[in-house]
Structure 1
């Protein structure tokens, strides 16, 4: 699905136009400015006003892209916990356009209501609030739902909301987002999450070359634990405009805190001019929730820590430094091996940074230090430099 190109963020996960009628919830002087665009989680809904990233926005229109269908929806269908992207409405002077950005969408099967366990087209999930939603009649087995979630340190999803939709266009649509692992370019398949196998064609891929560790959105038909993909789109923050605010999870942080990755989708740089709220540079730790406002070339202008949703403890040990001599590289799988007795295979992708004049093709027999993360059981290199 083609994503909304945000104008003027993880700017972020939601945004609003300064000309909108909504007021600003944030009291800190540095937070009074509302960014031009935003991505994030809906915190509150009151009539046509929603709160995202601590800012209130008047909503002028709502849509969801289901394949090639641009489905118009009502503001009454917005709910706290939904992931959205906001941008100035192109047809109205006042109010924001809201695009829904669920992680998973499809038919729900409730496997254990009391424990909050359910599946969406075979994807196993848990949501503690599900029991109340079922008891109140908001969700039943067989409903078509949107699931908003955050990535976890393992290969699962931290569910934020489950919302039912009744729409003839949506009833047969299925999509899921997640990180690629076990990519097999010969047989055109990869794993997504803990148990899903995605079968794709070269023509179904959008946004660049597939690689392990990249976050993708997959649309298609699910049969058991296999998805026959009609579209695989790489999700990145490469084209984020200045003054966008993004909410998200730190999925990698450089050892010197000079850069970080958000939601597995892109890298942001920290400079001497970066402002911090509710924390400082030392609080940039993998698994921490933040809101980042972006400047030129994905520079972080401002970082605000969400201390109420800190999940960093569950990410302990997920960042790893590996040192040694590179034995060989594999250009097909974009990986290399390092070590002698204990040989590690490390994968690179579009977000891997090579320092000290290194390139992927020049790695063989080089002594290197690799900053890597464990993603779905595989080492994904974020930064590679010569070993001092």
Structure 2
């Protein structure tokens, strides 16, 4: 196994062309145009060509955190992004730019190659294909998808040599147990963000439970001391972007769904489906979504179904509450709803949608229906509407 070597060089170039049987103008022999931008995993690597979401890209170089990565060191199932800006640059420079998008970066420990268990930044992970050349104390990049229990479904683990960022680690995950200075990330990682820069354009730089964030900083014992916390979303993606992910919430009428906890996509009569249909929009299904912007919303123009995550019980992650709102808490961004089984605290965030003229400020005393998902035994409202009395 090769080590992924990071060398401090900026200004990376690679060439993109669409389709697994591609030609020089960026389309394949089936006249299927490559998407303008891609976020997904590497299907295969051959020489300086990588295949992402079924499209081939000739690559001169790639990068992570502003550092050059040799194409020969890329591996299958690493998460990457190819932007429309990088693709358009290829017309003038002979190449575009690929960025590595790992979920977790840090030191590996507690490795057990017999059963594929290990830890990175104290997070317990499992990957049965873990290379025996990876040893405790190595720096690794982990690419993964979310699971139903706030954990990580590992897709790849790649060993690399850090050059000048050896004290910086990275973890993406769901926020829970948020207070003024700390929160939990994923299932159990404690994060101290008391001195961190918070980047959240959607909510006046406020964090909230249930948001998917990227945290960079350093490990101090078992605590991740954050330098920066950035909320990950799909608010600024270009039209015709294709995104690979897992469905983490679906509206009861299947009119919309959340992808990898990062953002919502609307479904309409013009949405096309491949290897499935609208009824296959279910929790835990891995998909590739092509999107466009319409009236400030992301609309799914095409959904390609990959496969279901049968290893997780996603159904327990989808909960509906009906009842009267007893109180709201502006600081915690939560409300208490009285249901037939008792009072329940439900949290909201910038991704929560309100129907029937409702807003968080008007919930007190209202009879509502709230569609929610569960993160570490906290319920996060995805959609809130007036209770149907019919």
Give TM-score, length-normalised by structure 2: 0.87
1:110 positional shift: 3.6
Counterpart check, 1:102 vs 2:102 = yes
1:263 positional shift: 0.7
Q: Matched residues in 1 for 2:45 and 2:27: separation?
A: 16
Aligned counterpart, 1:114: 114
Aligned counterpart, 2:332: 333
Q: Matched residues in 2 for 1:361 and 1:247: separation?
A: 35
Which of 288, 292, 295 is matched with 1:295 structurally?
A: 292
Aligned counterpart, 1:33: 33
1:26 positional shift: 11
* 1:302 partner SS: strand
1:334 positional shift: 0.4
Aligned counterpart, 2:316: 317
Q: Matched residues in 1 for 2:267 and 2:112: separation?
A: 44
Aligned counterpart, 1:276: 273
Q: Matched residues in 1 for 2:110 and 2:140: separation?
A: 12
Q: Matched residues in 1 for 2:27 and 2:110: separation?
A: 38
Aligned counterpart, 1:9: none
Q: 4+ residue runs of structure 1 moved beyond 3 angstroms?
A: 15-22, 24-29, 89-92, 309-313
Q: Contact 2:20/2:51 (CA < 8 Å) preserved in 1? A: no
Aligned counterpart, 1:78: 74
1:205 positional shift: 0.7
1:368 positional shift: 0.3
Structure 2: stretches of 5+ with no match in the other structure: 1-13
Aligned counterpart, 1:346: 346
1:125 positional shift: 1.0
Aligned counterpart, 1:204: 197
Aligned counterpart, 2:230: 233
Q: Contact 1:16/1:96 (CA < 8 Å) preserved in 2? A: yes
1:194 positional shift: 2.0
Structure 1: stretches of 5+ with no match in the other structure: 1-14
Q: How does 1:174-189 map to 2 (within 5 A)?
A: 174-185=169-180, 188-189=181-182
* 1:316 partner SS: helix
Moved more, 350-359 or 338-347: 338-347
Q: Contact 1:286/1:312 (CA < 8 Å) preserved in 2? A: no
Q: Contact 2:175/2:213 (CA < 8 Å) preserved in 1? A: yes
Aligned counterpart, 2:148: 153
Moved more, 235-244 or 107-116: 107-116
Aligned counterpart, 1:171: 166
Q: Matched residues in 2 for 1:318 and 1:194: separation?
A: 14
1:91 positional shift: 5.3
CA distance 1:27–1:322, change in 2 (3 Å): farther
CA distance 1:21–1:96, change in 2 (3 Å): farther
Structure number with the bigger relative contact order (C-alpha 8 A, sep ≥ 6) is: 1
Q: Contact 1:60/1:89 (CA < 8 Å) preserved in 2? A: no
Q: Contact 1:57/1:95 (CA < 8 Å) preserved in 2? A: no
For residues 303-342 of structure 1, what are the alpha-carbon distances to aligned partners after superposition, in whole Å with 9 as ceiling and x for unaligned? 00002x5448621221111100000000001000011661
* 1:343 partner SS: strand
Aligned counterpart, 1:383: 383
Number of aligned residue pairs: give it.
361
Q: Contact 2:195/2:227 (CA < 8 Å) preserved in 1? A: no
1:285 positional shift: 0.3
1:350 positional shift: 0.7
